[in-house]
Structure 1
């Protein structure tokens, strides 16, 4: 291998490692289909279903980079109509990099629904969880190992490779038949995720989301069978900002979606990704696939992101009228 090629490879690996580390330290796992994973978005969505819902998701981000990011989640929620309350359980697993830097969250969520005007409802929510972090230090590759080529490093291994901490989040959601908006605050306990003596406090994350149905069409005395919705999600975590905004078209059973993701234009000339979704939504069942086209400076090496969602929604008690939130299933 030529010296120039070696240097290019070293620079690429080093840059990739820095980017991966910076992303891990600054941001939580994210989902393109954020409304498919509603419990992860905000605890106010717990129980916002006909009565019971099971959701499973998988995301493979930056498949072109060794290690990449792999995120999986599973949730179950139940609505108690006699108490206008929803309960949920959310499990999330995130793995990143060749060092198998991993995080597992296990949490319980609660929300309460009450009416404020004739067509408007409010849902506050709470989420309590336990987070576990782990790393395989001896699978990591450091810069000095690449330079010397002898496989040894001067970096000290952590005192413990597995740590844990409690955390919490809260949110509020307001909605009508065609409009919804909400806000969530995550990491209220600001847990420490450091494997060493120095602290690495996770900063609080603020999320603002919402949207409205531009078009609602259906035949007389029959359910709405076609909608066009505009939706957005803005996140702020320390000095990191990100905006997701897009359109959904749903003509039963087909769902198509298109998003832009990036930092607001006044902070960056280029966004992070463009995403497209295709999904199928039938009675009590929906499945969706989305792909992120990276448009940042990493476009040639990341290979974007793949995401799959699966949802089962079923009702066992039909006596109580359900106030449905009009946001998309994906």
Structure 2
């Protein structure tokens, strides 16, 4: 089964790489946060779960990104098939970006206490650039003279995911194909357009210690051809199913701390703070994320032994 997973990695690696910079999350491992990057995650818990997130990045920096995310995933037709839905809206300077996607995943038991899943993602990318509000030196500059740019672009992606009770690994490309027929919207997956392909590779393992303490180190690699390779190195710690805390390092960008607390049997809330270590640290007061999760199951979320 691991050979099949490695072949899947090879398939995605051989495909051409691309999207306007995908939304960034510090708590990407927070249940359906995975959905945005990997459709194969859909249905992996065996029950329906939903999450909401608000992220305000680089506080005090004018025009800095602000992101709202909603996601849900669960199983259909038994435990073999999963569905997922994700919606996010980004505000970055003069740009307004929204994305709605639906995912389908098929889960294949491997016989070694693991499961391999293949997922596809289809949706639409909504983009608007408010160039009419830009303050420019030359109002006749042809870049701005045409007014606002906007477009709706259907797109599709692909992902693979392998998991056991203690281990997980996935690889995905949320935007492999995008179709645009509007002449006023610059789509170029390979070079200078609004959408560019991104690849994500991630993995992690849960170490179960004495006294009900679990450690989960994980790593996320993000590759986009026009940008340096970026890695997120993470460590999360669970304390007797009461709460979790953790820290993360994102190369050339930020160090982060995070916490998650259950509120009853089905509800949980989380918070993350990024301290910027790039050149933006002189004008930024950091980044805040607030997350809310709800599980549609009678089981307590924190009793889920997988921790992911």
Q: TM-score range by the shorter chain?
A: 0.7 to 0.9
Contact 2:43/2:82 (<8 A) preserved: yes
Cα distance in 2, alignment partners of residues 175 and 210 from structure 1: 9
CA 1:286 to 1:316, structure 2 compared with 1: closer, same or farther past 3 Å? Answer: closer
Equivalent residues, number: 275
1:177 aligns with 2:165: yes
Question: In the alignment, which residue of structure 2 is the partner of 1:82?
Answer: 78
Question: In the alignment, which residue of structure 2 is the partner of 1:117?
Answer: 111
* Counterpart pick for 1:277 among 244, 249, 258: 258
SS at match of 2:158: strand
- How does the TM-score come out when normalised to structure 2? 0.82
Q: How does 1:16-31 map to 2 (within 5 A)?
A: 27-31=21-25
1:166 aligns with 2:162: no
Cα distance in 2, alignment partners of residues 121 and 198 from structure 1: 37
Contact 1:190/1:204 (<8 A) preserved: no
* Counterpart pick for 1:215 among 208, 219, 224: 208
Segments of 5+ residues of structure 1 without an aligned counterpart are 1-24, 146-151, 219-224, 263-270, 318-323
* Counterpart pick for 1:261 among 228, 231, 250: 250
Question: In the alignment, which residue of structure 2 is the partner of 1:297?
Answer: 279
Cα distance in 2, alignment partners of residues 52 and 182 from structure 1: 20
Structure with greater Cα Rg: 1
Question: In the alignment, which residue of structure 2 is the partner of 1:45?
Answer: 41
CA 1:32 to 1:129, structure 2 compared with 1: closer, same or farther past 3 Å? Answer: same
Root-mean-square deviation over aligned CA pairs: 2.4
Contact 1:158/1:195 (<8 A) preserved: no
Contact 1:72/1:93 (<8 A) preserved: yes
SS at match of 1:299: helix
Segments of 5+ residues of structure 2 without an aligned counterpart are 1-18
CA 1:325 to 1:157, structure 2 compared with 1: closer, same or farther past 3 Å? Answer: farther
1:236 aligns with 2:223: yes
Cα distance in 2, alignment partners of residues 306 and 280 from structure 1: 17
Q: CA deviation at 1:194?
A: 8.8
Question: In the alignment, which residue of structure 1 is the partner of 2:213?
Answer: 226
